[in-house]
Every structure is written in structure tokens, then in C-alpha cells.
């Protein structure tokens, strides 16, 4: 598999090949569902979030370059910020309605780029998926971008929250993209906004179960769970 990147985007290409080599060597990283990744047009890439490894794992498992949000604290160090921006990262203030980050993500999507965004908003504890925040639904509605659910398995063992990295097999499963308008057809605007995040999380949960990881979504509404 070769990465499709522009000639002037050499740093991203270098980082992709470098990290991909080590991820495959150390963690035996595998990817399934690559045929589900559209190679053009705006796309929100929506994986579960177990570990700090998740962004590079998803990025290196895909043959399409993508932008991604990183917590603002990481950008305070000049060198780290330079590296993150070199691989298409931009800062987001977690726990707030960060309008600057939303505008940046929307601008990238309007240009037809793929943008990685964790619908949980942050890392979960590895025992249950977190409820979705509003960001993915908001951007999908505003941009018209499709949302591709992604199941990441093994990073919760390779680098557990609060623990040191260790060797463990990692698998990435790319699902079929979801269309906001189609998925929420017949719903009121408020209901659609509230439901779409859960639809994405349920799709992620299904991919994780397909890969052999049984996990629940915390605080899942009864109506949502029954559908």
C-alpha cells in the first residue's frame, strides 16, 4: 500500500512511512476495510479513542492523508508543535466549544480534505466507550462531509491510559461512511443532532465487536440501544 500525498507534503510522507514501519514491526499493525476509504471529497474519520497511539495508528493504517485535532497543551512546546503541524495537526481546547478549531476543521473539510476527529472527545478508560460529544454531528451537518466510523483494537493494551507502552497486536477496521442527511432522515433538527453522534458510536461499537472486542457505550439511551 502506498500513501497518496502531494510532492510538496514531504514531511507528512516521511512521517507516514517511518511510523508505519515501526507500528507494523513492533505492534504487528493490520488494517481491514481499506476499500471503504473514499480517496477524494470531504471526510470525517471517526475512531474510538483508547490511547495516545490512536492518531498515528489510524493515520498510518490509511492510504489517504488526513488532518487531525490535538489537545492544545501539546502545542505549547515549539518543537512538538512544529512536528504536529507538519503532520497536519491543529490544536483544540478540550471541554469547551472551541470555535477556532471548529472553523479550522470546517475549512479543511470544505477543501475536500479528510479530518480525523474522535467522537468521544477524549480517551476512554478502555472498559467502555464514552458518550459522543456534539462535534462530529455539527461538522457533518455544516460541511456535508460523510463520517467514516473506525474501530481501533489493541491500543488499549499497547499503551494503556496511565501506563507505559508495551508490545501488543493492533488492528484498525475502517467502516462504511455514514451520511448525516440519510442517517437522520425524518428527524427534527434537534433530534438529528442528538441522534447522529450515537449512530456513529454504535457503528464504531459494531466494528470493535466485529474485531472481537466486546465493549459497551457508557450512558447509552435505552431508545438508542434498542434500535
pLDDT for position 127:
87
Is 51 contained in some domain? yes
Rounded CA-CA distance 168/3 in Å is 25
Domain count, the chain: 1
Say whether pLDDT at 179 is over 90: yes
Q: Which domain holds residue 51?
A: 29-217
Q: Is residue 131 part of a domain?
A: yes
Q: Global pTM?
A: 0.92
pLDDT of residue 52: 93
End-to-end Cα separation, the chain, in angstroms: 37
pLDDT at 99: 85
Q: What's the pLDDT band for 225 if we cut at 50, 70, 90?
A: very low
Query: What CATH number did the domain enclosing 102 receive?
Result: 3.40.1130.10
What average pLDDT does the structure give for the chain?
Answer: 92
Amino acid at each position: 500500500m502506498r500513501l497518496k500525498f502531494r510532492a510538496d507534503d514531504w514531511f507528512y510522507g516521511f512521517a507516514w512511512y517511518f511510523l508505519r514501519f515501526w507500528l507494523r514491526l513492533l505492534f504487528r499493525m493490520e488494517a481491514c476495510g481499506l476499500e471503504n476509504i473514499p480517496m477524494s471529497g470531504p471526510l470525517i474519520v471517526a475512531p474510538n479513542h483508547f490511547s495516545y497511539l490512536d492518531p498515528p495508528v489510524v493515520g498510518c493504517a490509511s492510504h489517504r492523508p488526513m488532518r487531525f485535532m490535538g489537545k492544545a497543551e501539546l502545542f505549547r512546546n515549539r518543537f512538538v508543535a512544529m512536528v504536529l503541524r507538519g503532520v497536519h495537526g491543529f490544536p483544540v481546547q478540550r471541554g469547551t466549544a472551541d470555535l477556532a478549531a471548529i472553523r479550522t476543521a470546517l475549512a479543511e473539510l470544505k477543501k475536500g480534505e479528510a479530518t480525523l476527529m474522535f467522537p468521544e472527545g477524549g480517551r476512554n478508560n478502555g472498559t467502555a466507550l464514552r458518550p459522543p460529544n456534539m462535534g462530529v454531528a455539527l461538522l457533518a451537518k455544516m460541511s456535508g462531509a460523510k463520517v467514516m466510523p473506525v474501530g481501533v483494537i489493541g491500543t488499549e493494551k499497547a499503551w494503556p491510559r496511565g501506563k507505559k507502552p508495551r508490545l501488543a497486536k493492533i488492528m484498525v477496521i475502517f467502516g462504511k461512511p455514514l451520511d448525516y442527511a440519510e442517517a437522520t432522515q425524518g428527524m427534527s433538527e434537534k433530534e438529528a443532532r442528538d441522534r447522529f453522534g450515537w449512530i456513529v458510536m454504535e457503528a464504531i461499537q459494531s466494528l470493535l465487536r466485529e474485531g472481537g472486542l466486546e465493549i459497551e457505550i457508557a450512558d447509552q439511551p435505552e431508545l438508542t440501544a434498542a434500535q
